[in-house]
Structure 1
Amino acid sequence: MSALIGRERIEAVARPGETYEQVAARLQREANEESRLVAAPKLQPATRVRKPSKGDEQQDFFIPAVYDVGIRDSRNIMDVAVFRLSKKERRAGEVITYELRDGNVKVSAGPAGMASVWDYDLVLMAVSHLTEAMNRYRDGRGEKPGRVFRPHVGDVLKFLRRAYGGKQKDDLVETCLRLNTTHVAVRRTEKGKNGRTITVNEGEPLISRYKVIENSSGKPEFIEIEVAQWMYQEITGGKNPDVLALHPDFFLIGTGIGRFVYRLARRAAGKTEARWSFQTIYERSGSAGTFKEFCRILRGIVEANDLPEYTLTMEAGQSGPQLAMAHRRRMVDGAAGV
């Protein structure tokens, strides 16, 4: 080994107490490590979007396409997190308060823990199918839907683009419990019919009730949930449902903050662009972590820049860093002079 490294160099870099052979071995290890690092490929920013589950790419034609419906979300709650963004922190018994211009929103968690943004996927599925049913009703192709949604567990996992397994089925039971015990209270100040200013307080859990039907093996077979009254009213009450379409790859976004940023971009930027300060995004996310840690994660999402539909960049602002969210089609059209 010592023949590979010159005697003069060994003598020059020897540390007090090191033998000739020890110095030679240390230098050889350092040389090997340097060669490994030079040869290694440059690492790319860690992706925030997971790969689809096996079978996700092809639908089973003999199964009713209950999952073949566009994803919809309630517009009014897309710029605040009515759920926790962390998989690890259950936040049982906690309350998150968001101060808004015309009032506030309070999200309260029960003893089973606060519903997570991944739990909320089930609400998205119910809202999506309720919207589709209302579109058929308005077109005269069906009856007006009620608030109860009763899909097969296999269809739920397919729609949510998750693996089909025993654990995934069992997790849906806990999901229903947390959604039913996470309460959202909204306080709004508005003008009444007589022109006087009034304040309205109302609240409901994310789902009003649930029922899980198990098969003979004790595994969930069907899920029955009742959509919250305020969500139902938003979708069925007017001429058009107050919802926004989400990209199908939303369910593949792996981080809670990444999912929140996508929903925020979808509402704020739409098909154009929008800018929000890091501080405001942090406050609207309900994050339990520090602002410094939140910014670190958000910068990582910007660096990866792999969220569906939107290009993310960080800009300097008067009150700190800003997140610029631009729809990719707008950027292409702008570059083409459209």
Structure 2
Amino acid sequence: MALCAQRKHLEDAPPTTPMPQCQSSEDHDSGPSASMLRAAPAGDAQRDLFTPPMWDISTRDSRSMMDVAVFRLSKRDKRPGETIHYALADGYIEVKAGPDGMASVWDYDIILMAISYLTEAMNRYRDGRGEKPTRLLRPSVMEILKFCRRPSGGRQYEELENALDRLKNTSLKIVRTRKGRNGRVIRMAEGEGLLSNYRVLSYAENGVVASVEMEIPSWIYREVVEAQQPEILTVHPDYFLIEPGIGRYLYRLARRVAGRGRARWSFKLIYERSGSTGTFKEFCRMLRKQIQINDLPEYVLTEEPGKTGPMLVIMNREASPDELIAMVEGDDVGLELEPD
């Protein structure tokens, strides 16, 4: 009972209604697709008796970063050495890429695994059933692939090390301003990589990875382990099957701002928060394509006109009519403006 209470304190549970799964396009800017979700890998729903159960825990994400793309959304455009700048009401966020390229939204699956592991470990710790977690995470390669719902074999082992490189060398700088007790404005700046450090041991003759060790960045550790009320949200397991990068960004945005109800965001603000390098016109075209496909886990996407341009309406598939009416009559319209 204590564990259940702790989980309720840390997170919102997602609906478990399965979504249709079929093969989708490789990148967010590729041609027509019947679905945003790729097919689940073979044996995805089966436990592996020789694999520890880390892959079987619920997926969680940090609410504070779910409405901003701290990664690139394209598979093809690596964006080495580039910087994305996001202006906020009380500061800004900068994402800086290393020489090997910026971490992608698919690389970020490893960070989701770290957040999920810490949350699960803290649930057990607060319930008196485990030790307080440290920043070191030592998953097996199979655990990583299972958790991220990716097939084994092929180039997955080689790509894992490349993903760790990009995560370590993509830095996040967050600058916030606030008024101090004496009335003076305080500016706080902090920066760290999406991943602090990693170590991979592999067999030289064939490149097969033997073990992986990752150091979770301190900003994630503080949010999950040290915060009084961690802002952690559960992510639908079919998130990992969303193939286009823009689809993944839209799901994370929807999970944060709509939750179990409804929200509206302007196309312009979504474009600015996505870090897209294309034109606004092209982004609108891709966004309308996702609205037409409309098979995100948990959420329905529609478009409607707004005061400053087109609006994306995000609605939870299981929201009751009474909840939606209350939101339309309440604060929902305010999301047409800058939400921060």
Common topology (TM > 0.5): yes
Q: Residue 57 of structure 1: CA displacement?
A: 2.3
What are the superposed Cα offsets for residues 179-230 of structure 1, whole Å, 9 maximum, x if unpaired?
A: 0000000010013354532010111000000111114632112221111101
Q: Distance in 1 between matches of 2:38 and 2:233?
A: 23
| Maintained 8 Å contact 1:73/1:127 | yes
| Maintained 8 Å contact 1:107/1:185 | yes
Q: Residue 279 of structure 1: CA displacement?
A: 0.5
Check if 1:266 corresponds to 2:255.
yes
Give, as a single letter, the amino acid of the residue that structure 1 aligns with 2:224.
Answer: I
User: Gaps (5+ residues) in structure 2?
Assistant: 1-31, 327-340
Gap change, CA 1:192 and 1:295, over 3 Å in 2: same
- 1:212 corresponds in structure 2 to 200
Check if 1:106 corresponds to 2:85.
no
Q: Distance in 1 between matches of 2:285 and 2:252?
A: 19
- 1:24 corresponds in structure 2 to none
Of 131-140 and 213-222, the range deviating more from structure 2: 213-222
| Maintained 8 Å contact 1:192/1:198 | yes
What are the superposed Cα offsets for residues 64-103 of structure 1, whole Å, 9 maximum, x if unpaired?
A: 2111100011111111000000000000000000000000
Q: Residue 58 of structure 1: CA displacement?
A: 1.7
Give, as a single letter, the amino acid of the residue that structure 2 aligns with 1:292.
Answer: K
Which of 219, 225, 233 is residue 214 of structure 2 equivalent to?
225
Which of 156, 162, 169 is residue 174 of structure 1 equivalent to?
162
Q: Distance in 1 between matches of 2:236 and 2:132?
A: 26
- 1:9 corresponds in structure 2 to none
Which of 235, 242, 257 is residue 253 of structure 1 equivalent to?
242
After TM superposition, the structure 1 = structure 2 runs for residues 15-164 of structure 1, keeping only pairs within 5 Å, are 46-164=34-152
Q: Residue 127 of structure 1: CA displacement?
A: 0.8
- 1:183 corresponds in structure 2 to 171
Greater RCO structure (CA 8 Å; 6+ sep): 2
Larger of the two Rg values belongs to structure: 1
- 1:35 corresponds in structure 2 to none
Q: Distance in 2 between matches of 1:45 and 1:119?
A: 23
Give, as a single letter, the amino acid of the residue that structure 1 aligns with 2:57.
Answer: V
Of 149-158 and 189-198, the range deviating more from structure 2: 189-198
Q: Residue 240 of structure 1: CA displacement?
A: 3.5
Q: Secondary structure at the match of 1:329?
A: coil
Q: Secondary structure at the match of 1:67?
A: helix
Q: Distance in 2 between matches of 1:146 and 1:240?
A: 19
What TM-score, normalized to structure 2? 0.83
What TM-score, normalized to structure 1? 0.83
Give, as a single letter, the amino acid of the residue that structure 2 aligns with 1:167.
Answer: R
Q: Distance in 1 between matches of 2:207 and 2:181?
A: 54
Q: Distance in 2 between matches of 1:101 and 1:259?
A: 25
Q: Residue 331 of structure 1: CA displacement?
A: 4.6
Aligned CA-pair RMSD: 1.9
Q: Distance in 1 between matches of 2:202 and 2:33?
A: 42
Q: Distance in 1 between matches of 2:220 and 2:182?
A: 26
Q: Distance in 2 between matches of 1:193 and 1:132?
A: 37
Check if 1:328 corresponds to 2:317.
yes
| Maintained 8 Å contact 1:187/1:201 | yes
Q: Distance in 2 between matches of 1:231 and 1:300?
A: 33
Q: Secondary structure at the match of 1:221?
A: strand
Q: Distance in 2 between matches of 1:57 and 1:143?
A: 29
| Maintained 8 Å contact 2:261/2:323 | no
Q: Secondary structure at the match of 1:84?
A: coil
Give, as a single letter, the amino acid of the residue that structure 1 aligns with 2:245.
Answer: G
Give, as a single letter, the amino acid of the residue that structure 1 aligns with 2:43.
Answer: G
Q: Residue 166 of structure 1: CA displacement?
A: 3.5
More helix by share: 1
Q: Distance in 2 between matches of 1:332 and 1:50?
A: 31
Check if 1:199 corresponds to 2:187.
yes
| Maintained 8 Å contact 1:45/1:303 | no
Give, as a single letter, the amino acid of the residue that structure 2 aligns with 1:183.
Answer: S
After TM superposition, the structure 1 = structure 2 runs for residues 224-303 of structure 1, keeping only pairs within 5 Å, are 224-303=213-292
Give, as a single letter, the amino acid of the residue that structure 1 aligns with 2:159.
Answer: D
Q: Distance in 2 between matches of 1:288 and 1:172?
A: 26
Give, as a single letter, the amino acid of the residue that structure 2 aligns with 1:304.
Answer: I
